[in-house]
Amino acid sequence: MSSGLCLRVLRGSGSAPAASSGSWSRFLSRSGARRGLSGSNSGTMNVFNREMKKRQKNWAGSLQDGQQYDYLRDEVGSRVADRVYDIARTFPLALDLGGGKGHIAEHLSQVQPVLYPSSEIPTRCVLADEEFLPFKENTFDLVVSSLSLHWINDLPGALKQIHQVLKPDGVFIGAMVGGETLYELRCSLQLAETEREGGFSPHVSPYTAVTDLGNLLGRAGFTMLTVDIDEVQVHYPGIIEVMTDLQGMGESNCAWNRRSLLHRDTILAAAAIYKEMYGSEDGSVPATFEILYMIGWKPHESQAKPAKRGSATASFGDLSKISQPTNSNKS
């Protein structure tokens, strides 16, 4: 069952200026394998209901005033675009996984008006499943992904597929929420449910820890890894606004083990706990988003390799013998 998340294929025209506006075409990719039987990975996790996530994203996308919920994606998209520009290369063909409204592409076309005088990168939109990429091997120079990897069930498998569709010496730049994202919301709901109902169920999805990310990328075959964390704290009037904004962003819970209802008493209790435990003086409450940025390269002969063992020509012990510049005038 395809999740239908939008992938955007960005084609950067090096020499000729691009056409006035990118052409769009959507086609459903037929994914033969069923979820849960993907590949030879035993123990593939099936945490998220991808069909539900597709419906939630469609609903969020159909909102009349959906732009007001785009602040987080825009911010992270601009930081991913910064990382793309930090790499001194041009990328003729790029893939944006889970591109949505193209939050990365809009920053890519603005920052470099010289290279792309029309300030538009030709884009093709593909409706496909992130775990079953419908592209040939060695196709893309660059794969970017912003804030969509945290809904993938088989993250190791998806990273392997990204590695496959990249050309050798291609790069994958991703941003995903992880670590301690939304810990305030999680704790408030947990305490409220425990006090009001005697038990609690998970309301915030499980996230990847930053320490695991290096292992995941390494297992997928990426080299020259760079992983760093950014903490974005957004202040809201209260817990209801937090939840409404998350819903508007299309980030509602879709884990199979989610509870379908939240009692009014529990909501009231959680609102009080959130405000008391995490509120600031002006009455607002913070919500933390920990964004993990990752950069990984597909191996290529031109890349720097670690030196062979035993090829050292100098010793660390010689550091102390480096002669100090002598002061002839001692004043």
Partner 1 sequence: MSGSNVWSRSREKIRLFPELFAQCTGEAAVYGKCVAATTTGRQELKKDLCAKEFEALKTCFISAVSDTKVQHVLKC
Coil, helix or strand at residue 51: helix
194 binds partner 1 (CB under 8 A): yes
How far lies 251's CA from each of 17, 59, 139, 183, in Å?
Answer: 37, 11, 30, 15
Task: State the nearest-atom distance from the C-beta of 235 to partner 1, in Å.
Answer: 14
Are 288 and 180 in contact by the 8 Å Cβ rule? The answer is: yes
203 - beta bridge partners? none
C-beta atoms surrounding 215 within 10 Å: 12
Tokens of 276: 């008391």
Compare residues 87 and 240 and give the one whose CB is closer to partner 1. 240
Sole window of 156-164, 261-269, 284-292, 310-318 interacting with partner 1 (rule: CB under 8 A): 261-269
How far lies 323's CA from each of 193, 313, 319, in Å?
Answer: 67, 19, 9
Compare residues 168 and 237 and give the one whose CB is closer to partner 1. 237
9 binds partner 1 (CB under 8 A): no
Among 192, 246, 255, 285, binds partner 1 (CB under 8 A): 192
Task: State the nearest-atom distance from the C-beta of 284 to partner 1, in Å.
Answer: 12
Residue entry with tokens 């409220």: 192
The number of residues that bind partner 1 (CB under 8 A) is 22
Q: What is the footprint of partner 1 within residues 262-301 (CB under 8 A)?
A: 265, 267-269, 271-273, 275-277
Task: State the nearest-atom distance from the C-beta of 145 to partner 1, in Å.
Answer: 30
Sole window of 74-82, 96-104, 138-146, 194-202 interacting with partner 1 (rule: CB under 8 A): 194-202
Compare residues 160 and 275 and give the one whose CB is closer to partner 1. 275
191 binds partner 1 (CB under 8 A): yes
CB within 8 A of 188, min separation 6: which ones? 239, 270, 271, 273, 274, 277, 278
Look up residue 237 and give its DSSP letter. S
Compare residues 258 and 275 and give the one whose CB is closer to partner 1. 275
209 binds partner 1 (CB under 8 A): no
Are 130 and 98 in contact by the 8 Å Cβ rule? The answer is: yes
52 binds partner 1 (CB under 8 A): no
Q: How far apart are CA 80 and CA 175, in angstroms?
A: 7
3-state helix, strand, coil in the chain (%, to 5): 35, 20, 45
6 - beta bridge partners? 127
Q: What is the footprint of partner 1 within residues 221-260 (CB under 8 A)?
A: 237-238, 240-241, 244
290 - beta bridge partners? 231
Compare residues 239 and 294 and give the one whose CB is closer to partner 1. 239
The binding site for partner 1 (CB under 8 A) comprises 191-192, 194-198, 237-238, 240-241, 244, 265, 267-269, 271-273, 275-277
